[in-house]
């Protein structure tokens, strides 16, 4: 099903055509360009809240989302993204423009400045608006995909969650629910080896998170998260199983968080040699080299894709910067379906507590 999004041609690898491989490369360089731009905007003082990168993890989010049936009419597959799954967010159709608007808290953004970063919803494109408490989205996705099963829709949901999030109760309860209810859900474990400053060994005794899947009777596999094709194939197998009614699954993406937890974290606690070794496995560099060495792309093509991504990102960033911030009173809107919060009585033209 996923291959339908691209031009025809013969499959070169993993069932993907040349133009699909180029599309993947484009998705990778675009997320990197967007985050680099974000970092710059942060340094220039445009951003009030936290700024997160997915450096080194781009192949995970891009490869995973590429295995989905991506549509924009609300009938396709669905994801719950994280800040490290920005590549998936864009592939599903989330716009870089909205990404910048969210971080810049623009009135024009999908949450009108009420929420930050990748926390936004677009059910038509298959995006669920995540929350910060870790693990919470697993249960939510279990329910979304339960509804797919109950309504007999051939749809699948991917929920991304970090390796640290696997320690939360919500993660376990949600996953077990999905397993028991045979929900067409795939849990993508973002095993980047850190949870903020805490190394994986302090979050689990296990060698692999796939062992947790076994505890719930789930199918699971581990993929090389720096290899976009490996992620794509592994996710596709899990997604195909889920779509075929074989129940929930898990894919563990093994890679490394190459930046600090967020901009404010200089990751002093990371062993520089280990970091260096993982930097060598930069997913974009790896995929680019593969494309070249197999003759699936020329240097010129890759350069052009990167340039196109940079232009797209740049236009989006500049547009967002120029857009307005919300009006304070909009803070009152949409607390309930049928009413908002009340204007504080002290701010009425004639202050009157009876109006409170």
Partner 1 sequence: MGGKPDSVTKTERREPVTLLEAISEGLFEEMERDERVFLMGEDIGVYGGAFKVTRGFLDHFGEERVIDTPISEGGFTGAAAGAAHMGLRPVVEMQFMDFISPAYDVITNYIATSLYRGSGPLPLVIRGPVGGGNRGGPFHSQNVEMAFFHTPGLKIVYPSTAYDAKGLVKAAIRDDNPVIIEEHKGLYRAPFLREVLPEDDYIVPLGKANVVREGSGLTVVTYGMMVHRSVEAAEVLHQEDGFEVEVLDLRTLSPLDDEAIVESVKKTGRLLVVHEDTRTGGIAGEIAMRVSEKAFEWLDAPMLRVTAIDAPVPYAGALEDYFLPQIEDIVTAARYLAAY
Ligand X SMILES: Cc1ncc(C[n+]2csc(CCOP(=O)(O)OP(=O)(O)O)c2C)c(N)n1
Closest distance to partner 1 from the beta carbon of 325 (Å): 5
134 vs 284 by CB, closer to ligand X: 134
Position closest to Mg ion via CB: 162
The nearest distance, CB 202 to ligand X, in angstroms, is: 11
- The one among 92, 165, 220, 251 contacting partner 1 by CB under 8 A: 165
Asked if 148 contacts 186 with a C-beta cutoff of 8 angstroms, the reply is no
Among 81, 192, 226, 235, binds Mg ion (CB under 5 A): 192
Q: If binding is defined by CB under 5 A, does position 163 make contact with Mg ion?
A: yes
Closest contact distance (angstroms) between CB of 283 and partner 1 is 25
Task: Answer yes or no whether residue 2 interacts with Mg ion by CB under 5 A.
Answer: no
Question: Residue 5 binds which entry of ligand X, partner 1, Mg ion, none, with Cβ cut-offs from 5 to 8 Å by kind?
Answer: none
Span interacting with partner 1, options 4-12, 126-134, 208-216, 249-257, rule CB under 8 A: 126-134
Q: Which does 84 bind (CB under 5 to 8 A by kind): partner 1, ligand X, Mg ion, none?
A: ligand X
From candidates 60, 76, 162, 247, binder to Mg ion by CB under 5 A: 162
What's the min distance (Å) between Cβ of 98 and partner 1? 14
Distance separating alpha carbons of residues 218 and 69, to the nearest angstrom: 22
Identify what 123 binds: partner 1, ligand X, Mg ion, none; CB under 5 to 8 Å per kind: none
Residues in contact with partner 1, total (CB under 8 A)?
A: 51
Question: Which residues, numbered 254-313, are part of the site for partner 1 (CB under 8 A)?
Answer: 269
User: Of 97, 134, 183, 248, which one interacts with partner 1 (CB under 8 A)?
Assistant: 134
For binding to ligand X (CB under 6 A), which residues are involved? Answer: 84, 132-134, 162-165, 168, 190, 192, 194-196, 257, 261
Instruction: Decide if residue 332 touches partner 1 (CB under 8 A).
Output: yes
């Amino acid at each position: 099903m996923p291959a339908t999004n691209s031009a025809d041609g013969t499959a070169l690898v993993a069932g993907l055509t040349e133009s699909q491989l180029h599309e993947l490369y484009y998705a990778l360089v675009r997320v990197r360009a967007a985050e680099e731009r974000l970092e710059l905007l942060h340094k220039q003082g445009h951003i009030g809240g936290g700024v997160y990168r997915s450096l080194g993890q781009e192949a995970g989010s891009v490869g995973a989302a590429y295995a989905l049936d991506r549509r924009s009419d609300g009938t396709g597959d669905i994801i719950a993204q994280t800040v490290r799954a920005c590549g998936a967010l864009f592939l599903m159709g989330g716009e870089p423009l909205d990404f910048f608007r969210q971080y810049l808290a623009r009135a024009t953004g999908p949450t009108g400045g009420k929420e930050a970063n990748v926390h936004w919803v677009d059910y038509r494109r298959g995006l669920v608006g995540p929350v910060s408490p870790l693990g919470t989205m697993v249960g939510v996705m279990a329910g979304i995909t339960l509804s797919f099963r109950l309504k007999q829709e051939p749809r699948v949901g991917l929920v991304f969650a970090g390796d640290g999030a696997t320690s939360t109760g919500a993660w376990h309860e949600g996953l077990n629910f999905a397993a028991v209810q045979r929900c067409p859900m795939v849990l993508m474990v973002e095993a980047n080896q850190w949870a903020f400053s805490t190394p994986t060994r302090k979050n689990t005794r296990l060698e692999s998170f796939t062992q947790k899947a076994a505890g719930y009777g789930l199918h699971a596999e581990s993929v090389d998260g720096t290899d976009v094709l490996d992620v794509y194939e592994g996710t596709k197998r899990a997604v195909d199983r889920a779509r075929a009614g074989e129940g929930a699954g898990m894919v563990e993406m093994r890679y490394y968080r190459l930046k600090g937890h967020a901009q404010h974290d200089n990751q002093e606690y990371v062993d520089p040699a280990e970091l260096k070794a993982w930097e060598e496995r930069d997913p974009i560099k790896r995929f680019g080299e593969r494309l070249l060495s197999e003759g699936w792309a020329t240097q010129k093509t890759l350069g052009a894709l990167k340039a196109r991504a940079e232009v797209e990102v740049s236009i989006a960033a500049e547009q967002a910067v120029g857009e307005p911030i919300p009006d304070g009173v909009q803070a009152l809107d949409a607390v309930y379906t049928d009413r908002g919060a009340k204007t504080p009585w002290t701010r009425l033209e004639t202050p009157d507590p009876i109006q409170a």
